[in-house]
Amino acid sequence: MAKKKVKLKARDRSLVFDTSAIISLASNSLLWVIGDLKKQFKGHFYIPGSVKAEIIDTPLQSKRFKLEAMQVLSEVAKNNIEIFDHNEEVQKEISELSATANSIFMARGNYIKIAHLGELGAIAMARLLDSDAVVIDERTTRTLIEEPQKLADLLEVKLHTPITINRDSLRKFQEKVNNLPVLRSSELGVIAYEMGLFDRYALSGEEKYVADPKLNVLDGVLWGLRLRGCAISTEEIDAILKLEGFTELKK
């Protein structure tokens, strides 16, 4: 596959996907919506080389996730997902992000490694391309960007120990990710629903088998994403269903 040169700081519209969001879509057999979403977005959908390694290169060497890797490659072949290998500027940005992000929280005298190569690669690429958003389903990194104090509280509960915050590292990280919007696959799922992409699963004839097919389709999409990696709460799902006009949620 030919490598493409990143036009850093270009203002072409773009989203950069982390490994977690691609996995959530692939494991729910929803990668097919990417093409229509990209057309609607009128921009680029990127994954950095670090994400390619995690969702294509490594799975192709195994048996368990090879099919998902081939599904991603299909979207790459159709240019719905574009891959950029790390150049020197991206690699430098990843190294700086890693140094700051992984020196923010300390437990029992040791720093906690909370951000990994795929996530850092996506954030670095989004920053350098001045992207419209980075798409991350994994809760830890998304919470670090949006609500670092909440993440500290979650870590204390998980590790059963007090968490110390390195305020200098946190400030440096926040300066790097300042105003970087974060989306999840669930937001993309809602947009796809509003575009009518799931109407194929909510035909009028289905009402003799299930009450309110459209409600069940949207509820199924959101819960499928949640159960396969997207960090979205029950309350958020219920709120989305209400916003879409479903006032009686049938469980």
As a 3-state breakdown, the chain gives helix, strand, coil percent values, each rounded to 5, of: 55, 10, 35
At 98 the pLDDT is: 92
At 204 the pLDDT is: 61
At 239 the pLDDT is: 95
Tokens of 109: 């005298």
At 247 the pLDDT is: 72
At 55 the pLDDT is: 94
Strands of the sheet with 110-111, listed across from one edge: 110-111, 105-107, 164-165
Q: Does domain 7-183 have CATH number 3.40.50.1010?
A: yes
At 249 the pLDDT is: 56
At 1 the pLDDT is: 42
- Burial-class residue 107 by CB neighbours within 10 Å (0-12, 13-18, 19+): middle
Instruction: Please list, in sequence order, all residues whose beta carbon lies within 8 angstroms of the beta carbon of residue 186, skipping any fewer than 6 positions away.
Output: 137, 222, 225, 226, 230, 232, 236, 240
CA-to-CA distance for 6 and 163, rounded, in angstroms? 39
At 88 the pLDDT is: 83
Q: For the residues of 15-65, what is the DSSP string, one character each?
A: EEE-HHHHHHHHHTT-TTHHHHHHHHHTSEEEEEHHHHIIIIIHHHTSSTT
Tokens of 104: 């923010």
Task: Name the segment(s) of the chain with CATH classification 3.40.50.1010.
Answer: 7-183
Other C-beta atoms lying within 10 Å of the C-beta of residue 200: 8
Tokens of 37: 């979403």
What is the pTM for the complete model shown? 0.87
- Give me Rg for the CA atoms of the chain: 19
At 200 the pLDDT is: 86
pLDDT in tens, the chain (251 residues): 444 444 444 568 999 999 999 999 999 999 999 999 999 999 999 999 999 999 999 999 989 889 999 999 999 999 999 998 767 888 898 899 999 999 999 999 999 999 888 899 999 999 989 999 999 999 999 999 999 999 999 999 999 999 999 999 999 999 989 889 999 999 999 999 999 999 988 766 656 677 788 898 999 999 999 999 999 999 999 999 999 988 765 54
Beta pairing, strands 44-48 & 82-84: parallel
At 3 the pLDDT is: 43
CA-to-CA distance for 204 and 223, rounded, in angstroms? 22
